[in-house]
Structure 1
Amino acid sequence: MTRAAEMLDTTPAHFDLDRDALAEAIAACVECAQTCTACADACLSESDVAAMVACIRLDLDCADVCTATSRVLSRQTAYDAQVTRAVLEACATACRRCGDECSTHGDAGMEHCRVCAEACRRCERACRALLDAAS
């Protein structure tokens, strides 16, 4: 059981979202934020940093959006469905864009980008699954 799931189990607040989908989305967002931050840092160590500027930017944008999303999803007291849907859409979009960029570098042999693309894909799927469950 993830810490996110454990916290959801302990909250006295009632929430209308699928608990498992919510816990998975929170965990995926936290993991993706960390992975994207580490990927951006690894990109700065590449020999041609100038070629990595778009990747670094998308990594950092994705990390920030994932962090914000995990925080919004973690707050279920006085839940606002419109805000939740908006952050989930933004997160899925950021993850798709970052995952696409990192995939190109991962296919070229940059392992940090391959790992990051996988984390982005997982997070995008988790956000979309939660959106579907909330519909």
Structure 2
Amino acid sequence: MEANLRKVMDAAYDCMQACNNCFDSCLKEDEIDMMRECIRLDRECADICQMVLSFSGREGSLRNDLVSLCGTICQACGKECEQHKHDHCQECARACFTCAEACRDYVKA
């Protein structure tokens, strides 16, 4: 397996885990109304990362499109999460930005 694809897979797995943790933790926050967009994006990001992992072994012609979309969603989730002071949001933002970068690098290659 090519190194760039392995990097995407590793980053997508880490991002999926961080988003799932952030989603669960956000639901426990006192001011949940402030967390609605964060929760929504956490779910979308975790889902697209899981999809990338599912499709990563396939040689399909649309893999680049899927990875590109994953990068876009990860970037949006990271931007939302970094606005919140909670540790779980900050950790999620870092994982999202790492995954977004890995996706961009893969698509460029």
User: Within 5 A, what are the aligned runs for 1:1-135?
Assistant: 8=1, 19-73=2-56, 75-76=57-58, 79-81=59-61, 83-105=62-84, 109-133=85-109
Superposed CA deviations along residues 15-38 of structure 1, whole A, max 9, x for unmatched, are xxxx11110101111111111011
Structure 1 unaligned runs (5+)? 1-7, 9-18
Superposed CA deviations along residues 78-133 of structure 1, whole A, max 9, x for unmatched, are x123x11110111001101100000101xxx2111000000000000111111111
Partner Cα separation in structure 1 for residue 81 and residue 54 of structure 2: 24
Partner Cα separation in structure 2 for residue 98 and residue 50 of structure 1: 17
- Give the TM-score normalised by the residue count of structure 1: 0.78
Partner Cα separation in structure 1 for residue 40 and residue 21 of structure 2: 13
The amino acid that maps onto 1:115 is: E
The amino acid that maps onto 1:68 is: M
**For this pair of structures, how many residues does the alignment match?**
109
Partner Cα separation in structure 1 for residue 22 and residue 89 of structure 2: 6
The amino acid that maps onto 1:24 is: K
- Give the TM-score normalised by the residue count of structure 2: 0.96
Q: Bigger relative contact order, structure 1 or 2, given CA contacts below 8 A and separation 6+?
A: 2
Structure 2 unaligned runs (5+)? none
Greater Cα radius of gyration, structure 1 or 2 = 1
Over the aligned positions, Cα root-mean-square deviation in angstroms equals 0.9
